[in-house]
Every structure is written in structure tokens, then in C-alpha cells.
Amino acid sequence: MTFLARRFIAGETKEEAFQAVRVLNGLGMRTTLDILGENVTSREMACNLADSYINIIDSIAEAGITANVSLKLTQMGLDVSDESCYENVRRIIKAAAARRNFVRVDMEGSNYTERTLRLVHKWAEKYDNVGAVIQAMLYRSEPDIIELNRRGIRVRLCKGAYKEPPSVAFVKKDDVNKNYVKLMKLLLDNGLYHSMATHDDAMISMTKEYAALKGIPKDRYEFQMLYGINRSAQAHLAREGHGVLIYVPFGKHWFPYYYRRLRERKENIIFLARHLLRG
């Protein structure tokens, strides 16, 4: 796990993460920083984590690096109460707005989807620097994207990494891929600066082809990828002039976070193993 951590996690400290960001910036890529952790059940701990994110946002500006932040609502006290979570993230979004920065609210398991989107809608009523994540594997994602488009909220589209029951999610890979392409087209047609998060060469090609067909410039959307995953494709897309943003996780809680993700869904183990060999 320590070997894997060196490949897929930028480090345990802010300084280590910033060093990784500088390298990626030098290759023409933007970044988003994620302090690893989730399912906080203490109001005090959630408040402290919010303070840590505000510190990161201030440090990004002072360091002159190109980065924003991504966070999970269970880090921010969603398991404590919606009200305390709202206030913690509101403080972060406000601090980011003052620095002309952006906050992406990550999506977690489907049991959190409705509450997460309800809170994102609420923050977006006051701030324009907050975005959401939508998982193509969920049946509900099309109407969710239509509503986010209507509200002018930027979306990161991913396939989804959580183990979900067939009552709420597509089970077959081909069905997830078909829905991903359908949702990608909805996002690109909307005109907002949306993000396609994928390491799938077919999804990348279909996104590029659809954008070219519709005459959508490369600077009107971006691809997002995980730190250490498919690094050759990341560099190739950047050289082609596409917007590329790398999701850079760091922090001391990397082991419990990745252990849960790998234990939860065997596809996550296969994904990491394949890209470890791919380079």
C-alpha cells in the first residue's frame, strides 16, 4: 500500500502536494486538491477540516500555483447535520470567491446524492464558484444534469466508483458507457465550462469527436484525471491543447480512504492495477 500511495497520492502534507502541483502546472495542466478523509462524525473535526481547506485556498494564492479544491460533504459534517455541513462549506466557498478560486463538491454513495445536490443548489444561489459531480452509473443522473444546467452549475461527469445496487444504478459496463456519452453530450451542448472525468480512451475520443462535430472549442470544456493514472494520456491531451485538470489527493488518512474504496468494489482494484502497469 505504501508503494501504491507513492504513485497515486501526492503526499501527506500540503508542501508535498504543492510540489506535485508545480510539476503538473509545468506540463500545462491545472489541478484540484483533495484532503483525504470522509465520514466525519464530530462537529469540531468537521469545522477544523473546513479551516484546513480555507488555509489551502489561501496558500494556493500565496504560492502562485494553478489549483482549486475538491471536498466531500461527509468530511464537512453531513453525517452530523445538513445545517453544520452547509455552514462549513459556505465558509470555504466564500474564502475561495475572495481569492477568485473554485470549489468542487465531490459526489459520494447514492444514499448521499439527493442531500448533496440540494446543498449544492443552495450554495449556488449565493455563489458562482461552486460545482457538482455527477455519476453516469446512476439512473437519476440525466434529470440531475438537466437541473444543474438550468441553474448554471458546472459539472464534473464521472462513471462512479461506489458499489451501488441495481435498483439505482446501471450494472453493466456497456450501459454505464452509453449513459456517460449521453450525459457528456448534454453537458457540451449546454455551453458552460463542464469537465469530463475519465481515463477511458473510448470516452475521451467520443468527447473530442462530439466537440469537433458541434464546433465546440477546446477551451470550453476540460478532461479530468486522477493523479498518477494514465500519465501518458494526460500529457498527450495537454500537448494537443485540451484543458486537463488533475485530481491531486493528499493527507495522512490515505490508508483508510483507499482501503475502503478497494474493499468496497473489486472494479476499483482492477482499475488501479491496470493503470499501475500502463504508466
Three-state DSSP class for residue 226: strand
Report the C-alpha gap between 23 and 66 in whole angstroms: 11
**Whole-angstrom Cα distance, residue 3 to residue 46?**
29
* Residue 158 bridge partners (DSSP): 135
Task: Return the bridge partners of 166, or none.
Answer: none
Beta strands in the chain (DSSP E): 30-35, 67-71, 103-105, 130-135, 155-158, 194-197, 221-226, 243-250
For the question of residue 156 being annotated catalytic, the response is yes
- Closest of 8, 22, 88 to residue 50, by C-alpha: 88
Which secondary structure element, helix H or strand E, spans residue 134, and what is its range? strand 130-135
Q: How far is CA 25 from CA 31, 108, 245, in A?
A: 8, 28, 9
Residue 263 appears among annotated catalytic residues: no
Per-residue cell: 61: 494564492
Q: State the Cα–Cα distance between residues 253 and 172, nearest whole angstrom.
A: 32
Of 64, 74, 76, 151, the closest CA to residue 101 belongs to 64
Task: Give me the catalytic one of 90, 104, 154, 156.
Answer: 156
Of the candidates 30, 106, 144, 154, the residue annotated as catalytic is 106
Q: Cα angle vertex 57, ends 56, 63, to 5°?
A: 80
What residues are labeled active site? 106, 156
